[in-house]
Structures are given as structure tokens and as C-alpha cells.
Chains A and B, each alone.
Chain A
Amino acid sequence: MRVLLVDDEKELVSTLAERLAIRSIDSDWVTDGEDALKLVETHCYDVAVLDIRLPGISGLDLQKKMKLKCPDLKFIFMTGHGSLGDFQAGATEAGTDYYLVKPVGIDELIEKMNNLMSA
């Protein structure tokens, strides 16, 4: 499984990537939507984990653009907000099971990724 992590909190995604690597999950991370779109043009990922609110673009808009470039890509949304509006938007796009509120447990995240891959 190859994962792309997108969140403007660099310390979060870089540490998460290291923890996934320890668990033999290959991942790349970026801190903005522009870099995420560049990566999906040249790399193939199975799952993208997106923050709902990114600088300059929402996670939902980024998902739409990434889907155009990589139709088979699956998505998990993360948010620090937990607001009803964000939940409704994120859950509509990804399903309630794939909308996670920070801080997220790594075991839960991996379980969601595996569920997506086997769906």
C-alpha cells in the first residue's frame, strides 16, 4: 500500500510518515495542495489522507482535483475542527468511517486504510 499524506502541519505528516514506515507502509507527505497535485501526476498512490482545511484550497476541492488525475485513489479526511459542517462535507465525500478527528490513533488510521483497500 502506498499512501500520500497532505496536511499543512509538517511535524504531523512527517512523523506520521515515519511511523507508517516502521509498520512497512510506504508513504510520502506534502504540506499543501499544489505539491499534492504535482505528486499524483508522477506517482501512483492507493490512499490519500487529507486535512479538510488546507492553505489556499479545501481538502474536498483537492480531492476532486486529485480524482481527475488519479481516479482509483481512495481518500481519508482528517480534521482538527470536528464542526458539524466539516463532518457533513467530509462524511458525504468519504463516508463517516473515513472522516477522522485529530488526534488520530495510528492503529485506527491503518485499520481505515486497510478497510478502504479491501472495499
Chain B
Amino acid sequence: MNDSLDVREETALRFFGNISTSISHEIKNVLAIINENAGLLEDYNLMAEKGIPLNPERIKTLAETVMTQIRRADGLVKNMNKFAHSVDEASKTVDLREILELVVALSSRFAAIRGVGLELQPSSSAVSILSSPFFLENLIWLVLDFAMNATGNGKIVGLFAEKKEDGARVIFTQLDALGKAQKDEFPTEREKSLLHILNAEISLDHRAGQIFIDLPTEITL
């Protein structure tokens, strides 16, 4: 990375790159499945031309598979679009629940590769704060990345957002191996640079296996 970039800029660029790579990988998988199903339809057509009867039920299944993959790609592109729009405004009022939902969706491939499940727990009411959507997503994503290495045998990270009197809090739970994590390895300079700009704080409860991100009600960038 360029020496002239500071830690926060480099962190943000890496985040954007990682998410873009992951989404393009997912879309490639969708295309590969559609490609094989279209190829199979072609095979059946060639067989039908040679007098082998078509199985209507099989054709119906192939059409359903293609439609499922199109819905999957549509969801991926919608999330990509939502993510790209996070940089439209330096700061705006956001519902933390929606931010968490997006980061979980964007992280699903990373989690699957590591064999970790992500459980987004519902909050009953909106958790609104005035903050930077993009840097918030970046910070949650980095903490989630660390949390996925601290799940222990459970292999689950629970996440939820809650309103506080003086702001809001994001909580990562079920981190059974958090106690084994090196205390000096987290937060790193990357998380610290984002904590600074978001005026936020991270704390770890090793016994309970939880990480907290405390955010103010509003920040001005």
C-alpha cells in the first residue's frame, strides 16, 4: 500500500476491496450454477433430438434452480449497491440494526469459509444514531473478523445492537475463546483509527465472551 496513505485510508480501501472481491466471487458462483443448468438444458435438448424423451419434472426443477440463483444474485447486487451508497454522505442518521444486517450479509461468505455461523439477534426498536455509515460498517466488520477467531468450539458469533442513554452499543456474543486471545493484539491500529473518527470505544469481557462497541448518539465529521 502507498506510503502516503494513513492507517484509516488504507483500512477503508482494504475494506472496500475485500467486500468487492467477496461479492464478485459470489456472483461468479451464481453465474457458474446458471451456466451449468443452461448447459444441462442444452444437453437434454440434444438428447430429445435423438429421440430420448424429456422429463418435464426435471426441466421444472432446472427452471426453479435458475430462478433461485437469480434471486440470490439480486440480493447480492442490492447489498453491494447499499454498501456502495454508504460513502454518499460523510455522516447521517442510521439505524444500527440495518447497519449490522448489512455487515452480516456482506460477511456471510467470509464466515462460511471459516466455518462460522453469524446470528443476528433482533432488537425490538430502532437504534438510531448520527454517525458515518461507511466507517461504522468498517469498524463492525473488523471487530467481527476478530470475533470469528474467538468463537471456540461453538463456531457462532451472535450480534445485536441496543440503545443506551448516552448513545448506542453493538454487542458480539458467544465468543468462548475470547479469553485465549492475546490482550495486546486487539484492537489494532486499524480499529483504533476508526474508533477515533467515530468517537467510539471498544471493550472486551473475556469471562462472558463478549465484545462491546460503544457509540455516541451523534458525531460530526
Query: Which residues of A line the B interface, CB within 8 A?
Result: 8-9, 11-12, 15-16, 18-19, 22, 53-56, 80-83, 101-104, 106
Interface size on B, residues (CB 8 A): 24
Interface residues of B in 46-61 (CB under 8 A from A): 47
Interface residues of B in 30-63 (CB under 8 A from A): 31-37, 39-40, 43, 47
Main secondary structure of the interface of B (DSSP, over half): helix
- With A80-B26, A81-B21, A103-B28 as contacts: A15 and B112 at CB distance below 8 Å: no
- Quick check: A12 and B29 within 8 Å, CB to CB? yes
Which of B28, B47, B65 makes the CB contact (< 8 A) with A22? B47
Contacting residues, chain A, for B112 (C-beta < 8 A): 8, 55
B114 contacts A by Cβ under 8 Å: yes
- Quick check: B29 and A19 within 8 Å, CB to CB? no
B82 contacts A by Cβ under 8 Å: no
- Quick check: A15 and B40 within 8 Å, CB to CB? yes
Complex: A46 Cα to B28 Cα, angstroms: 27
Contacting residues, chain B, for A101 (C-beta < 8 A): 28
Complex: A69 Cα to B13 Cα, angstroms: 42
Complex: A9 Cα to B32 Cα, angstroms: 9
- Quick check: B21 and A55 within 8 Å, CB to CB? no
B14 contacts A by Cβ under 8 Å: no
- Quick check: B113 and A11 within 8 Å, CB to CB? no
